[in-house]
Structure 1
Amino acid sequence: MARMDVFPRQMLEYASQGEQSDAFFELGLSYCTGRDGTVDLIQAHKWFNIAASRGNVEAKRHRSELSSDMSKAEVIRAQKLAREWLASAH
């Protein structure tokens, strides 16, 4: 899938249409690079984590690399946010 230049809200709409892991991966990239605003590593890690849980292998690699640039507290916060999001999505 080619990268899409859309806003996070649009990516969530795309995810609801079935291409979840790719859409969540794109959200991670968006927050990681600041493509749609400010860089937010916690949100990036959260979305990479969610994408990885949906089987996206690239998300696993990005999440791992991103973790090395984050404090332990930031990683814990991102993981908590991912768990909360996953729990509310069902």
Structure 2
Amino acid sequence: MARIEMESADMAALGAASNADILFEMGMMYATGRECEIDMIAAHKWFNIAAIKGCTRAAMLRTEIADTLSKNELARALRDAREWMTRH
């Protein structure tokens, strides 16, 4: 599997609008702290977007993460995903 170098999440996401695999990898990056700080809100955001684009693995991980977030954190993750989807 090819390694994707990412300067920033937004930069990488520009080409990911229709690619669920890249969006899934964004979620994994934040969930595992790969080349960034662990951020479960951002991980949920990216898994949510990937799930919307058809990635079943992302949908499963999104559910697992949602169970660990507070109501406010979950609301923020959903809002962030909605804003991203609106912009892209």
What is the TM-score of this pair, normalised by structure 2? 0.85
The whole-number CA distance in structure 2 between the counterparts of 1:3 and 1:28 is 17
Partner of 2:16: 15
Asked if 2 retains the 8 angstrom alpha-carbon contact of 1:27 and 1:47, the reply is yes
Moved over 3 A (4+): 2-5, 8-11
Letter in 1 for 2:13: L
Aligned partner of residue 48 in structure 1, secondary structure: helix
Show structure 2 runs of 5+ residues with no match. Answer: none
Q: Which amino acid aligns with 1:87?
A: T
Verify the 8 A CA contact 1:49 1:63 in the aligned structure 2: yes
Q: Where in structure 1 are there 5+ consecutive unaligned residues?
A: none
Query: Which whole-Å CA distance do the structure 2 matches of 1:4 and 1:11 have between them?
Result: 13
Q: 1:37, CA displacement in angstroms?
A: 1.4
Calculate the TM-score normalised by the size of structure 1: 0.84
Alpha-carbon RMSD across the aligned residues, in angstroms, is 1.8
Shift in Å, 1:70: 0.9
Q: Percent identity?
A: 38
What one-letter code is carried by the residue in structure 2 that aligns with 1:24?
A: L
Matched residues, number: 86
